[in-house]
Chains A and B, each alone.
Chain A
Amino acid sequence: MKHNDIHDSDYLENTDRKNDKGEELNRRQFIQVGTAFGTTGIALGISTISGKKREIFTKIAKASSVKEKDEFPVTITDTCKQMNQKYTIFSRMLWDEELFLKMKERGKVSDREPMENEMGWTPLDRALSAASWAIDHRFSTESENGQPNSPTYEWEGHVNRKRIQFKDSDDANKKVKKAARFLGASLVGIADYDPLWTYNPLLIQKLEMEGSHDGPPEFDLIPPEFPFEPKSVVVMAIEMDYKAIALSPSSIQGAATGLGYSRMSAVGLSVATFIRELGYKAFACGNDVSLSIPYAIAAGLGELGRNGMLVTRDFGPRVRLVKVFTELEIKPDRPNLFGAWDFCQSCKRCAESCPSEAISFDDEPTLEGKTISNNPGVLKWYIDPEKCIQFWEENGSCCANCITSCPFNKPAMWHHQLITGITALPFAPFHSVMAKMDKIFGYGDIYDMKGNGSFWEED
């Protein structure tokens, strides 16, 4: 035994140092035991950290995979103009006879038979859907179809005469976003107002309140003249229920959508009221007044996806968007990229799950739309809204298959956050593998039959 060899474990173990009481103390054992208990204590401490404090770790993880950009991350050419709201697919359902003829000529777009009293279509499920839409239908009538200036989305509300001055626009950014989160926004960001995204002209339906009205719905087309000049847009995303959306296409998924719209009304009105109470004019809007997705991208809420929707890092496309236009100058946020657009080039899961094949399978995005309901001039994968809405008509409820099947649509668990971070790596074949693995692991299955039964049985 070489006593000089400090790595000799036998030597070390035999080098006992006896204290006055004759107990054997070994430095190595002391360090080992101390480290073990210390690490166990840290593990216990971390496991009991409250959800709020644990967010710090999530933020650190996100920061390593999210890149901020100065410029708008989607290519927009000069051919992109303000969109005539008359040509959105919801508006065309009011007047476009040619659209109805086209649908008739096309025949059924999917082989799905209408389901009555099947799971997802029972009276219980339909009642849930009607209930979820109730607040939107009562207080934001037809806003989901683009009708502006409904009660919760009124353009002119009471404004406090006493105007509060912020330290600067950065301070306004922090305070307004804090208020928005408190009032129910799942995600919030600020963007500068851009007239390019405002519908021009706006379509105002003449909603009959008394008596009956025979004939097609009537509407006016008016220029977008607001009671004030908007400077900033507060963009908010409202998360929809993961398990309900997983049952797409069914009344339960329709309930998740309806609840999203109802919460949009409440949150939009609340945030607009908050800003008005600070002494600044503001109004909220949902699907009306302007496009929502470009503002959401500019505000850093997510990226544009193949399915034409906003894909967020936290919820994927499983969000609804509501905006508040205001004259208050708020420092805008910057677009955030986390690899969704790059991933969409290889994935195509939404296109595979679309029952009417309305989503493009093209490898590369284009500048040309497919129908008059597209707004050309933006480099993206254009969907066919005519096929999409035709399936909604056949299905008897709206559809969210493209949301359900998106690999970024995941509940907020650590392993999904980890995978989302890994998919931020810009390597195309890797993305194809990740997309296939997502399918193999059973995520994104539409009309989850086993889940449908358990929806009502779970708490």
Chain B
Amino acid sequence: MGLLWFFLGTSVVLFIWGFRRWTVKNQIKLSWLSTFGIITAFTLGFFTIAWSVSSIIEGEIRAAIMGLLFFGISSLVIFRLTWRKIVKHIQHK
């Protein structure tokens, strides 16, 4: 479990760093809604990984799969909707 949290912690740091570099490099200024959407999507994504790995460790395979479906798909949907908004914003600019 310690390894899981280390991996997630490192991923969060890399995500924040990468996201910031990407917006700065491409001179993108996101609206608060888009920023919120991206953060929510990735937080839910990390939560999905944490949930599923924890469920596998405790032997609840069905809970792990349901976690991937429920939280993972929600994360992808939010990301997709937010990304479309960002792309529209860039094209408009």
| A44 to B10 CA separation, bound complex (whole angstroms) | 9
Contact A46 B60 (CB under 8 A): no
Q: When the two chains form the complex, which single residue of A10, A43, A413, A443 contacts B9, counting CB atoms closer than 8 Å?
A: A43
0 or 1 for each of B40-79: is its CB under 8 Å from A? (1 = yes):
0000000000110011011111110011000000000000
Report the nearest B residue to A243, measured CB to CB. B59
Stretch of A32-40, A197-205, A346-354, A360-368 on the interface side:
A32-40
Asked whether B93 is an interface residue with its Cβ less than 8 Å from the other chain, the reply is: no
Q: When the two chains form the complex, which single residue of A32, A43, A415, A451 contacts B59, counting CB atoms closer than 8 Å?
A: A451
| A32 to B5 CA separation, bound complex (whole angstroms) | 22
Asked whether A9 is an interface residue with its Cβ less than 8 Å from the other chain, the reply is: yes
Asked whether B17 is an interface residue with its Cβ less than 8 Å from the other chain, the reply is: yes
Q: When the two chains form the complex, which single residue of A10, A36, A39, A413 contacts B54, counting CB atoms closer than 8 Å?
A: A413
Residues of A within 8 A of B84 (CB): none
0 or 1 for each of A436-452: is its CB under 8 Å from B? (1 = yes):
00001111000000010
Contact A48 B17 (CB under 8 A): no
| A42 to B67 CA separation, bound complex (whole angstroms) | 27
Contact B17 A40 (CB under 8 A): no
Asked whether A411 is an interface residue with its Cβ less than 8 Å from the other chain, the reply is: yes
Contact A40 B25 (CB under 8 A): no
Contact B25 A443 (CB under 8 A): no
Contact B51 A32 (CB under 8 A): no
| A46 to B24 CA separation, bound complex (whole angstroms) | 30
| A47 to B12 CA separation, bound complex (whole angstroms) | 14
Contact B13 A443 (CB under 8 A): no
Contact A441 B9 (CB under 8 A): no
Residues of A within 8 A of B10 (CB): 40, 43
Contact B6 A43 (CB under 8 A): yes
Contact B9 A40 (CB under 8 A): yes
Asked whether A30 is an interface residue with its Cβ less than 8 Å from the other chain, the reply is: no
Asked whether B87 is an interface residue with its Cβ less than 8 Å from the other chain, the reply is: no
Contact B13 A48 (CB under 8 A): no
Q: Which residues of B contact A (CB under 8 A)?
A: 2-3, 5-6, 8-10, 12-14, 17, 20-21, 24-25, 27, 50-51, 54-55, 57-63, 66-67
Q: A36-B14, A44-B9, A442-B66 are in contact. List 8 more A-B contacts (CB 8 A).
A: A39-B12, A40-B10, A43-B12, A46-B9, A47-B5, A414-B50, A441-B62, A442-B61
